[in-house]
Amino acid sequence: MRTREGTTPWPAEIVERYRTAGLWQGRTLGDAFAEAAHVHADRIALVDDAVSLTYAEVHDRVEACAARLIDRGLAPDDRVVVQLPNHWTFVVLTLACLRVGIVPVMALPAHREHELRHLVSASEAVALVTPDSLRGFDHLALARTLRASSPTVRDLIVLGDTTPQPDTVSLTALCAPSDEATRTRRLPTPDAADVAVFLLSGGTTGLPKLIARTHDDYLCNIVLTSPPSAVDRDTVYLVTLPMGHNFPLACPGILGTLLAGGTVVPLGSPRPERAFAAIERHGITHTAAVPAVVASWLDHAAVEGFDALRSLRVLQVGGARLADELAERVVRGFPGTLQQVFGMAEGLINVTRLDDPIEVVVGTQGRPVSSFDELRVVDETTGLEVAAGEPGVLLTRGPYTPRGYYDAPEANARSFTPDGFYITGDIVRQRPDGNLVVEGRSKDMINRGGENISAEEVENLVYGLASVRLAAAVAMPHGTLGETVCLFAVLHDGCELDLAAVRAHFDTSGVAAFKRPDHLVTVEELPLTKVGKIDKKALRERLADELTASE
Ligand code: J2J
């Protein structure tokens, strides 16, 4: 299937409006990067411990990598599942794909067989890009297993120092400087309306859904998010969040920095010792973090001081609600300005502005980056708009918010209104000044330190345990992570179960480790709603009561 066929197009008259307004430029991300590379040729684009590459050098490697991919038989519109740690090759490979219209599917390093198998089949990927091993996990062995059982996967592209294998392609070799063969290769160019990249949804009902972002809409996303963060040619952007996530990738993140002429610094871990050292060493001006990471940086700074961070101008925080108290500590201690970011891979990005009053920066999650973003706050049950300032479910559509998930009619019927609004599932309140305050979620999700976990997916996995009769996963409040996964389980007569066994079962099921329950409560029965569904609200209240009682 042509990738575009699985997408829900914006209506023609709306496309016209976005084009006329200059929001959709009819330019590909590859062209936009080539232009930046031309303008900023001698400036440093990409630095880590191993490399320091100018724009001209990155551009050369991108063109060469694109040529090598085409030479290997990959074609425009082919999908490639990319699962890489934060490393310079991610940038070169991604730009090479964008250059020729090969579509990267942005998997996360934490994904395991369960998720990757789904991504490969949902995208009909022809190649997998993985490290050979990472943090003790043999990614290459898993990639081989996936290829053996997939009708579409041909190539395994591997990042690693081990000697080349006969059945794999070396990512570092693909990303090497140009040579005679690559320089003479003519490269195809995609259309700006084509799908540029697949992002992943947090997933409310089970596995992540694919979000097709076009060149037009993703460039619009980048162009709109860059000025509010003051990203320019002097920006030095540190990436500690997984590079394939929308936040560090394009809000404005890696791509925003590279279109502005700044420098991107990938780092493999957000641990405070490493992040602080990198910030000091590279003179980092911008970075993005989730609240749990910010909390660990604050704790570290309480001992070490904030001195190492003196180059920091903008600290973006998002992915989960930043508690007011943490926000205040950031504002008090961190050099530079805090920017709250309430965004989603599905599109809409809200940010506080750098010159907002402290009260807005600390107490809100910001406002949309475009006046073309349409927002509605509706009552959860009636679907009607609530009175101004009242909390309700946020619905949105706009120039960088696609009208549906990829090839997923059932999910689309649930998650989009007939007139094309994405139903975010976030409960928000919009203040008279336009800023949003995120108050909770109507979707059955657990946000564990910025990782969105579907309660239903956890429950389905738990049902794989023979001892479990009924299961319900709910969010349990947690000081630094915001929420953790609490599992309520009713067992079959005479059976026993402990948390270690549940977690071991998750490990052997091959799911990402962050989805493992943190707590297990075995109960005789679960409370039910009037229609006979498990009453999660009652379970959450019970957890809240127990937490209060234990304080
Ligand atoms: C509360 N909840 C938030 C916030 C996201 C920038 C920033 C984040 C993401 C992201 C992103 C929140 N306060 N500040 O893509 O470009 C929760 C909401 C939202 C969901 C989206 C970006 N910021 N959230 O987190 O697609 O529930 O994107 O709907 O991973 O995270 O998750 P995701």
- The answer for residues whose C-beta is within 8 angstroms of residue 495's C-beta and 6 or more apart is 466, 467
**Secondary structure of residue 280 in the 3-state scheme:** helix
Q: Ligand 1 centre and the CA of 420: distance in Å?
A: 20
Given pLDDT bands bounded at 50, 70 and 90, which one contains residue 79? Answer: very high
Q: Supply the residue whose CA is at minimum distance from atom 21 of ligand 1.
A: 344
Q: Is the CB of residue 251 below 6 angstroms from any atom belonging to ligand 1?
A: yes
Q: What value does the mean pLDDT take over residues 130-155?
A: 96
pLDDT at 36: 98
Q: What value does the mean pLDDT take over residues 185-192?
A: 97
Q: Is the CB of residue 424 below 6 angstroms from any atom belonging to ligand 1?
A: yes
pLDDT tens per residue across span 300-331? 999 999 999 999 999 999 998 898 889 999 99
Q: Ligand 1 centre and the CA of 452: distance in Å?
A: 9
In the predicted structure, residue 371 carries a pLDDT above the cut 70: yes
Identity at 341, one-letter amino acid code: V
CB 119: neighbour CB atoms within 10 A? 24
- The pair of three-digit structure tokens given for residue 194, joined into one six-digit string: 């084509």
Q: Ligand 1 centre and the CA of 426: distance in Å?
A: 10
Distance CA 399, CA 384 (A): 24
Q: Is the CB of residue 340 below 6 angstroms from any atom belonging to ligand 1?
A: yes
Q: In what order do the strands lie in the sheet with 392-397?
A: 374-378, 392-397, 422-430, 436-441
Given pLDDT bands bounded at 50, 70 and 90, which one contains residue 80? Answer: very high
pLDDT at 551: 65
Q: Supply the residue whose CA is at minimum distance from atom 1 of ligand 1.
A: 321
- The answer for residues whose C-beta is within 8 angstroms of residue 73's C-beta and 6 or more apart is 154
- Which backbone phi and psi does 470 adopt, to 5 degrees? -140, 145
Q: Supply the residue whose CA is at minimum distance from atom 33 of ligand 1.
A: 344
**pTM score of the predicted model:** 0.91
pLDDT at 144: 97
Q: Is the CB of residue 319 below 6 angstroms from any atom belonging to ligand 1?
A: yes
Q: Supply the residue whose CA is at minimum distance from atom 3 of ligand 1.
A: 320
Element of type H or E holding 279: helix 272-282
Q: Ligand 1 centre and the CA of 290: distance in Å?
A: 9
Q: Is the CB of residue 343 below 6 angstroms from any atom belonging to ligand 1?
A: yes
- Which backbone phi and psi does 182 adopt, to 5 degrees? -75, -30
Given pLDDT bands bounded at 50, 70 and 90, which one contains residue 148? Answer: very high
In sequence order, what are the beta bridge partners of 302?
none
pLDDT at 205: 56
pLDDT at 262: 98
In the predicted structure, residue 9 carries a pLDDT above the cut 90: yes
Structural domains for the chain? 29-214 (3.40.50.980), 269-441 (3.40.50.12780), 445-550 (3.30.300.30)
- Which backbone phi and psi does 118 adopt, to 5 degrees? -65, -45
Q: Tell me the ipTM for this assembly.
A: 0.99
Q: Ligand 1 centre and the CA of 342: distance in Å?
A: 5
Q: Supply the residue whose CA is at minimum distance from atom 25 of ligand 1.
A: 319
User: Which CA distances in Å does 115 have to 73, 242, 344, 373?
Assistant: 26, 16, 19, 31
Q: Ligand 1 centre and the CA of 201: distance in Å?
A: 10
Q: Ligand 1 centre and the CA of 293: distance in Å?
A: 15
Sign of CA dihedral 202, 203, 207, 210: negative
Whether the CB-CB separation of 180 and 152 falls below 8 Å is answered with no
Q: Ligand 1 centre and the CA of 459: distance in Å?
A: 23
Whether the CB-CB separation of 266 and 239 falls below 8 Å is answered with yes
Distance CA 457, CA 200 (A): 15
Q: Supply the residue whose CA is at minimum distance from atom 15 of ligand 1.
A: 344
pLDDT at 429: 96
User: Mean pLDDT, the chain, as a whole number?
Assistant: 94
- The answer for residues whose C-beta is within 8 angstroms of residue 465's C-beta and 6 or more apart is 497, 501, 502, 505
Out of 342, 421, 451, mutate this one to test ligand 1's pocket (max ligand atoms within 8 Å of CB): namely 342
In the predicted structure, residue 153 carries a pLDDT above the cut 80: yes
Distance CA 15, CA 399 (A): 8
In the predicted structure, residue 550 carries a pLDDT above the cut 80: no
SS (H, E, C) 76-118: CCCEEEECCCCCHHHHHHHHHHHHHCCEEEECCCCCCHHHHHH
Closest CA to 362 of 337, 328, 388: 328
Element of type H or E holding 491: strand 482-491
In sequence order, what are the beta bridge partners of 426?
441
Q: What value does the mean pLDDT take over residues 69-89?
A: 97
Closest CA to 433 of 372, 350, 319: 350
Q: For the chain, how long is the longest CA-to-CA vector?
A: 72
- Which backbone phi and psi does 539 adopt, to 5 degrees? -65, -40
Q: Is the CB of residue 345 below 6 angstroms from any atom belonging to ligand 1?
A: yes
pLDDT at 4: 86
Query: At what angle are helices 291-304 and 272-282 packed, to 10 degrees?
Result: 80
**Secondary structure of residue 442 in the 3-state scheme:** coil
- The pair of three-digit structure tokens given for residue 383, joined into one six-digit string: 């679907």
Out of 314, 316, 344, mutate this one to test ligand 1's pocket (max ligand atoms within 8 Å of CB): namely 344
Q: Is the CB of residue 140 below 6 angstroms from any atom belonging to ligand 1?
A: no
pLDDT tens per residue across span 333-362? 999 999 999 999 999 999 999 999 999 999
Q: Is the CB of residue 252 below 6 angstroms from any atom belonging to ligand 1?
A: no
Whether the CB-CB separation of 316 and 229 falls below 8 Å is answered with yes
Q: Ligand 1 centre and the CA of 501: distance in Å?
A: 31
User: Which CA distances in Å does 297 have to 132, 252, 276, 331, 334?
Assistant: 30, 22, 8, 13, 10
Q: Ligand 1 centre and the CA of 450: distance in Å?
A: 7
Q: Is the CB of residue 430 below 6 angstroms from any atom belonging to ligand 1?
A: no
Q: Is the CB of residue 203 below 6 angstroms from any atom belonging to ligand 1?
A: no
